[in-house]
Amino acid sequence: MEKSKQIQIGLLGVIALLLLLNVFGAFDGLFGGSSDSARDEARNSLTPNVTANTPASPTANPAATPAEPAAPAGPTTTIEFEETTFNFGTVDAGEKVNHTYKFKNTGSEPLIISNAKGSCGCTVPSWPKEPIPPGSTADIQVQFDSKNKKGKQTKRVTITANTEPAQTFLEITGEVTPAPDATAAPATK
């Protein structure tokens, strides 16, 4: 019985080794497998894209952090907002606050916004999907839903674009007054 377990473990080890060799393309030349470019592509998809000149970053491990959209490739430009923080004052819980953040492409290349994301589901941005030419203006609409919120609120919108740095931050702040308890049951006799 012991000998049979040793054989099973040995076979599993050989299978694992063959799988690893196959993944890294060791059999490609022997059996007329994929081309060098296909093999290199497969290898690159399994290994992190790190070069000697690129410092390691804490976000290099995709399993450790959620994937953030990358800034569009190509030339960078600059963006200038009229304001990056908006204080909506005081609102009652349940009200929706809308604000428009106006900006200008102050660089010499078209501005491409690849993503705009609120810090929570209550803050929803909408942004132009088409490139903004140099010197042109546009805006980003942000809606804050105060439902189930109370007290001081500060929410952040992260804009990812072909700018340096790739991310720009907008804030919407204010105070939410709790709504009176509308679910209280009427008194019965």
Q: Give the model confidence (pLDDT) of 102-139 as tens digits.
A: 999 999 999 999 999 999 999 999 999 999 999 999 99
The reported pLDDT for the residue numbered 1 is 61
CA angle at 138 for the pair 74 and 109, rounded to the nearest 5°: 25
The reported pLDDT for the residue numbered 120 is 93
The reported pLDDT for the residue numbered 21 is 55
Q: Establish if 74 belongs to a structural domain.
A: no
Does 169 lie in the same domain as 94? Answer: yes
Question: What does pLDDT average to over the chain?
Answer: 77
b/e code 144-153 from CB counts within 10 Å (16+ = b): bebeebeeeb
More confident residue, 143 or 17: 143
Does 127 lie in the same domain as 37? Answer: no
Q: Establish if 36 belongs to a structural domain.
A: yes
Integer Rg of the chain from CA: 27
Residues 6+ apart with CB under 8 A from 150: 93, 176, 177, 178
Strands 79-81 and 151-161: unpaired
Q: pTM (2 decimals)?
A: 0.59
Does 155 lie in the same domain as 109? Answer: yes
Does 168 lie in the same domain as 84? Answer: yes
- For the chain, the domain total comes to 2
Does 169 lie in the same domain as 97? Answer: yes
What residues make up the domain containing 140? 79-177
Does 83 lie in the same domain as 172? Answer: yes
